[in-house]
Amino acid sequence: MRLEGKVAIITGGASGIGLATVKKFVREGAKVLIADINLAQAEAAVAEIDALGFPGATAAGQVNVSIYKEVEAVVALAVKTFGKLDIIFNNAGIAGGKPLLDHDPEVDYMPMIRVDQDGVYYGILAAGRQFRDQGTGGVIISTSSIYGEQAAELAFSYSAAKAAVISFTRSAAYELAEYGVRAVAITPGRVGTPIINQFSDELKTLFASEQMRNKLTLPEEIADTVAFLASDEANAINGTVVHVDDGYSAFKQRFDLPSF
């Protein structure tokens, strides 16, 4: 088990990619604080993990990642509960959008920036300080997006926030290397999370067609990558962006070739 003895915080850990990663980490031997804005859902996730045969491997904590004091508190909770911190997966985020010229900045810009951008900054800062103080190093993994590297429909604010995550990751890797800390960003493509699964079959089919395998990526497939990146096997991966987009960023669309 490659995460044996490790302690992790996973934000947005009560559903979607976060919950899939909690399960993967636990199976790999880690202790995990499931940090989520929905405490009841986080507690339900703990009960689910216990029922799977891993009692005591997880704990729940409530956090609004857009508030630094709450992120700082959840780091302290992980240390109080499990004795230390080795990994943080800054995964919590929100989605949505509308055309730029229809924006109300307080509705369509600031919430996205506060959660998807500031929330990652706060996680890097709070965990980085804990890693420094422990003197044991650590790993910071943050969820960006394919949209963090390209323009897309209805995604002005979301793309900006996700691009910031990539920049944060590079700078964190540079500044925290002296403390033995690695920082990596992942860029998921179209993943079958509750956010996407709420859409029509027609739209989900379109999303799937944008990827090489012509299907939505499973949250568990993202979790497999995150677990590897969190492990010592990935020690040479630092300050980089790992694409987990099933080729989304490698091509535009499929089409029938014309006759030549």
Among 68, 158, 174, 179, which one carries the catalytic annotation?
Answer: 158
27-60 pLDDT, tens digit each: 999 999 999 999 999 999 999 999 999 999 999 9
Q: Residue 236: CB partners within 8 Å, gap ≥ 6?
A: none
User: What is the rounded average pLDDT for all residues in the chain?
Assistant: 96
Indicate whether 236 belongs to any domain: yes
DSSP 173: H
Specify the CATH number for the domain of residue 214: 3.40.50.720
Strands 58-62 and 87-90: unpaired
Cα gap 37→103, rounded to integer Å: 25
Report the pLDDT value the prediction gives residue 197, as an integer from 0 to 100: 87
Q: What are 222's two structure tokens? A: 């993202």
Question: How many of the other CB atoms lie within 10 Å of CB of 223?
Answer: 24
Indicate whether 102 belongs to any domain: yes
Q: What are 6's two structure tokens? A: 């490790």
Helices (H), 59-145: 68-82, 110-112, 119-134
196-231 pLDDT, tens digit each: 888 899 989 999 999 999 999 999 999 999 999 999
Question: Residue 87 is part of which domain span?
Answer: 7-242
Indicate whether 197 belongs to any domain: yes
Name residue, tokens 């044996």. 4
Is 68 one of the annotated active-site residues of the chain? no
Domain count, the chain: 1
Q: Percentage of residues in the chain with pLDDT exceeding 70? A: 100
89-137 pLDDT, tens digit each: 999 999 988 999 999 999 999 999 999 999 999 999 999 999 999 999 9
